[in-house]
């Protein structure tokens, strides 16, 4: 069942979303050569706690980190650890913050120092694919209209979308109905209604779409070893333009 959020609940999601967005920006500022992914995680963890919130991913289904840090060919769910970032790496950071019982979830891929132009283009296309999907995040469209717009744009740019992991409804739970795939035919799935809150999160591979999970049972990597990027916001369906809840502005 898809939960329609009341104005009061939306207000709480805005608060959680702001904290998650600020935490993600902070993470990006620390994604520099010589920094370990564990150091970034610690900084973000402390920031979220200082806001009176909790890191939503810590212990979620047993996940052992406060955030996800996925470097280069890692797609999602990378566990923060001793890896030291190097010039030319990219790092996808996924942050969740829970405040007053509601969750904000967002992700972005950051360049570590100077990176290849081709990899920067992967990051740019991944971000833009979210906004292509957002054009259909409006009352009257269906879930898969978002999915189709993302896939169509990504493939037009020569990249591929990950299929095994998808966006999701979000609210008092990190993952709620419905699923929001990043691929598929248009006009399918639930009709969008104002008060729905969704995490839209394209995961885009430079090479093939295939992925595998590492023996740590969390880290998802591309099968061909080519880089992958991730971009995510928590959004609210309204009677007009969708509202991005994980935004730092105003």
| Sites of contact with Mg ion (CB under 5 A) | 105, 199, 201
Q: Which is nearer to Mg ion, 199 or 235 (CB)?
A: 199
Q: Which is nearer to Mg ion, 80 or 240 (CB)?
A: 80
CB of 42 to Mg ion, least distance (A): 22
Of 39 and 197, CB closest to Mg ion: 197
Shortest Cβ 211–Mg ion spacing (Å) = 16
Identity of the residue, 22 or 106, whose beta carbon is nearer to Mg ion in the bound complex: 106
Q: Indicate the residue whose CB is closest to Mg ion.
A: 199
CB of 71 to Mg ion, least distance (A): 19
When the beta carbons of 73 and 105 are compared against Mg ion, the nearer one is: 105
CB of 24 to Mg ion, least distance (A): 12
What is the three-state SS of the chain? CCCCCCHHHHHHHHHHHHHHHHHHHHHHHCCCCCCEHHHHHHHHHHHHHHCCCEECCCCHHHCCCCCEEEECCEEECCCCCCCECCCCCEEEEEEEEEECCEEEEEEEEEECCCCCHHHHHHHHHHHHHHHHHHCCCCCCCEHHHHHHHHHHHHHHCCCEECCCCCEEECCCCCCEEEEECCCCCCCCCCECCCCCEEEECCEEECCCCCEEECCCCCCEEECCCCCEEECEEEEECCCCCCEECCCCCC
CB of 96 vs Mg ion, minimal distance in Å:
7
């Amino acid at each position: 069942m898809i939960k329609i959020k009341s104005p009061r609940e939306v207000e709480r999601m805005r608060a959680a979303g702001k904290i998650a967005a600020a935490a993600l920006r902070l993470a990006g500022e620390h994604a520099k050569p010589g920094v370990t992914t564990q150091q970034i995680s610690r900084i973000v963890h402390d920031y979220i706690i200082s806001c009176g919130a909790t890191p939503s991913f810590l212990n979620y289904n047993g996940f052992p980190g406060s955030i996800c840090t996925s470097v280069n060919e890692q797609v999602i769910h990378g566990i923060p650890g001793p890896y030291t970032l190097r010039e030319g790496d990219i790092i996808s950071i996924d942050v969740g913050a829970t405040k007053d019982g509601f969750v904000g979830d967002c992700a972005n891929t950051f360049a570590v120092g100077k990176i290849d132009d081709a990899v920067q283009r992967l990051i740019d296309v991944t971000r833009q694919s979210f906004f292509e999907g957002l054009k259909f995040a409006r009352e009257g469209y269906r879930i898969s209209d978002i999915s189709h717009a993302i896939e169509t744009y990504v493939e037009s740019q020569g990249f591929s979308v990950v299929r095994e992991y998808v966006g999701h409804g979000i609210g008092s739970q990190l993952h709620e109905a419905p699923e929001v795939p990043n691929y598929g035919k248009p006009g399918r799935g639930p009709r969008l209604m104002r008060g729905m809150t969704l995490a839209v999160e394209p995961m885009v591979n430079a090479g093939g779409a295939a992925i595998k999970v590492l023996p740590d049972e969390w880290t998802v990597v591309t099968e061909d070893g080519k880089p992958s990027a991730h971009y995510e916001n928590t959004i609210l369906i309204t009677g007009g333009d969708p509202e991005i809840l994980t935004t730092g502005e105003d």
